[in-house]
Amino acid sequence: MRKQFGGKVTKKEIEKFKHIQNWDGEKFLNLEPTSMDFSLQALPKFLYKQFCEKEGREPTQKLPIQSFDKESFLAPSEKAKFIWYGHSVLLIRINNKTILIDPMLGPDASPIAPFSTKRFSENTLNLIEDFPEIDLLMMTHDHYDHLDLKSMNLLKPKVNNFFVGLGVGRHLKKWGFEEKNITEFHWWKSASFEDIHITYTPTRHFSGRGISDRAKSMWGGWAFKTERENIWFSGDGGYGNHFIEVGKRLGPFDFAWMECGQYNENWKLIHMFPDESVKAAKDANATHIMPVHWAGFSLAQHHWTEPVEQFVEFAEKESIEYMTPSLGELVDLAKERKNEFWWRA
């Protein structure tokens, strides 16, 4: 169980953090005040709803995932391709490079909690066996629903390089990954991977895998720029002014994956509601968008399809192009595709 926590913060790391603008000496801060206080009076009602009122929060049957077609995935394309596996797991092909983001493919998003949070799909760890060599694995932050020990153990022989938020590397090193293959990023830091220009973008969130390491690693999103396209993964976080800044500095974006799901009024500042997801995409000047952070786990009290239904409604209202691929579907951004509202079936 202890191995799940990952690496401990060291004095050497703290020294490195001192040079980062949003480090206050004890923890990393968001760009604008972000309280996560929870009223003790509201706690009993919240806990009852969370653990006892589960109707509609999970699908009635396990969600199927399309089988992986390695040949089609690796075949050349004029633009990026990707496969979404629910929640925030994305397998991407850009410029003939394979990139994997937040590969939490394990069966439980609460591995250290007394109550499990079961995945909506079965046997997802088996997907890793079919994956090709991963040129670059990227982590937005270190929460359990994004960084999973079981998944990382299976990925170990397939991964060549890591781009991660500052401080996240300590978990990987604890789990046996080589430090020389890990590059850590603070907000707005950029690096080139082959011919892909990658930037770590701010989000309004937090981090930590235990009590002692809360907000002691960074959280963010990822922007990818090539000669042919500009793509963005928003990462977890609440709505804020940083989206306009992302658009000014790095936009416009041809395509964006937007966090949309696991929201609640009690933590509104750290997870966006669907209307905010669409607004954030508009702020960042993204012309074609897709909701992620849903269809994987029930981490909040809304119906499991509410995030995507409302996302579609608001995207149509704002006349922004969107897509809603099914789990495991190979999407080629160079090809036209018709949306199928698969979750309604």
Domain segments of the chain: what residues? 63-333
Q: What residues does 183 pair with on adjacent strands?
A: 163
| pLDDT reported for residue 35 | 87
The answer for residues whose C-beta is within 8 angstroms of residue 189's C-beta and 6 or more apart is 199, 200
| pLDDT reported for residue 40 | 66
For residues 212 and 192, the answer to whether their CB atoms sit within 8 Å is no
Residue-wise pLDDT for 227-266, tens only, equals 999 999 999 999 999 999 999 999 999 999 999 999 999 8
Q: Is 314 helix (H, G, I), strand (E, B) or coil?
A: helix
What is the CATH number assigned to the segment(s) 63-333? 3.60.15.10
Structure tokens at 302: 């809304």
What pTM was estimated for this model as a whole?
A: 0.97
DSSP state of 23: B
Instruction: Give percent above pLDDT 70 in the chain.
Output: 99
- Say if residue 36's pLDDT is above 80: no
Average pLDDT of the chain is 96
Beta strands in the chain (DSSP E): 81-84, 90-94, 97-101, 136-139, 162-165, 182-185, 190-193, 196-202, 220-225, 230-233, 255-259, 288-292, 321-322, 330-332
Distance from C-alpha of 31 to C-alpha of 278, rounded to nearest angstrom: 20
- Say if residue 69's pLDDT is above 60: yes
| pLDDT reported for residue 39 | 66
| pLDDT reported for residue 42 | 72
Is-cis flag, bond preceding 252, omega within 30?
yes
Smallest Cα–Cα separation from 193: which of 274, 137, 269?
A: 137
- Say if residue 37's pLDDT is above 80: no
